[in-house]
Amino acid sequence: MSVARAAAGPQTGPQPAPDGDSVPQRLLAAATRLFADRGYDRTSVQEIVEAAGVTKGALYHYFGSKDDLLHEVYGRVLRLQQERLDALAGSRAPVEERLREAAADVVVTTIENLDDTTIFFRSMHHLGPEKLAQVRAERRRYHERFRALVEEGQRAGVFTTATPADLVVDYHFGSVHHLGAWYRAEGRLSAQEVAGHLADLLMRALRP
């Protein structure tokens, strides 16, 4: 049985997007629900526009194609995480505090957007070569910023150098990317508690 509970309630199937949202928001909300419920490859453009309450012309105006929607589903989460990491890494706090906060933050933001991240990792192979390369470059930038914190602490003698920084980063993000496989609505730990445990595991692995 899972030990964690989801930040939001269980999905009940596709519902029309709220009328108060902008057209792009409505399309993204509808696509996210449908991709999570049915899978990217089994969801048609017609189903997305019907759920969003817009026309196909509106979809093609804002996104151009269905894989543009898939790209943006994950892209908006990655942009949020990059912004938060940049702010944490650039603060004046001790490096061990900055790294722990960053390690916890990526867990919380992943759980809070679990449909988006699960959809993407399950369906990213459907992206065209150009968009796939773009996403990989954006993810690499995030990982390199995170790795720089590990390296900073290693140079300062705060973290052990016994394990290469690249392996430390892969260790933590392997756990993050696996959240969609086991995190469920039922369970006793909040997103923040799961984040705290995983961040603590990382920090213990880096002790000199």
DSSP 16-44: PPPTTS-HHHHHHHHHHHHHHHH-STT--
**Structure tokens, 98:** 């900055």
Q: Kindly report the pTM of this predicted structure.
A: 0.84
Taking each helix axis as running N to C, give the angle between helix 45-52 and helix 66-89, from 0 to 180 degrees, rounded to the nearest 10. 70
- Mean pLDDT calculated for residue range 11-33: 71
pLDDT tens-digit map of 148-165: 999 999 999 999 999 999
Rg (CA), the chain: 19
Q: What pLDDT, on a 0 to 100 scale, did the predictor assign at position 186? A: 73
Q: What pLDDT, on a 0 to 100 scale, did the predictor assign at position 138? A: 93
